[in-house]
């Protein structure tokens, strides 16, 4: 895979991030032995637009998604999944409110004495 670490991303400029994304696209295109012409045609974009993307120039988000789809690299979208997290205080409150014991149910069955 691509060997930049996540920890350095926050200090990278927008242009550096775009170049990094372009390098990712180019790496996977070459790994799959696809030309810019064949990839751009399959993605429904122009070759010049793909070239811009690979160089880190501005392109639309839709273009990036189309290219990722053709390269079968949509798993990068997992980074954008939202996972609901519960705060430690809310967890402690929920634990406190959790039932600790079961109650014996009262029955109205005349054959069974209800003591």
Please say if the pLDDT value at position 14 is more than 50. yes
3-state secondary structure of 92: helix
- The residue among 19, 21, 55 whose CA lies nearest residue 36 is 55
Tell me the domains of the chain and their CATH numbers. 13-81 (1.10.260.40)
Count of C-beta atoms within a 10 Å radius of residue 50: 25
Name the one residue in this structure whose structure tokens are 């775009």: 18
* pLDDT, greater one: 66 or 97: 66
In whole angstroms, what is the distance from residue 45 CA to residue 88 CA? 48
- The pLDDT value recorded for residue 84 is 85
- What average pLDDT does this structure show over 12-41? 95
> Each residue of 56-86: pLDDT tens digit?
999 999 999 999 999 999 999 998 888 888 8
Please say if the pLDDT value at position 44 is more than 60. yes
- The pLDDT value recorded for residue 10 is 85
- What average pLDDT does this structure show over 4-26? 86
Contact 39, 29 (CB under 8 A): yes
One DSSP character per residue, 25-36 reads HHHHHHHTT--H
């Amino acid at each position: 895979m691509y060997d930049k670490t996540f920890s350095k991303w926050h200090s990278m400029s927008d242009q550096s991030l775009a170049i990094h994304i372009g390098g990712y696209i180019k790496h996977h295109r070459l790994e799959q032995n696809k030309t810019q012409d064949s990839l751009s045609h399959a993605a429904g974009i122009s070759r010049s637009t793909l070239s811009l993307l690979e160089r880190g120039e501005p392109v639309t988000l839709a273009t990036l998604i189309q290219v990722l789809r053709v390269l079968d690299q949509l798993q990068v979208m997992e980074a954008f999944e939202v996972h609901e997290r519960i705060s430690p205080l809310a967890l402690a409150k929920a634990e406190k409110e959790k039932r600790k014991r079961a109650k014996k149910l009262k029955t109205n069955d005349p054959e069974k004495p209800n003591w």
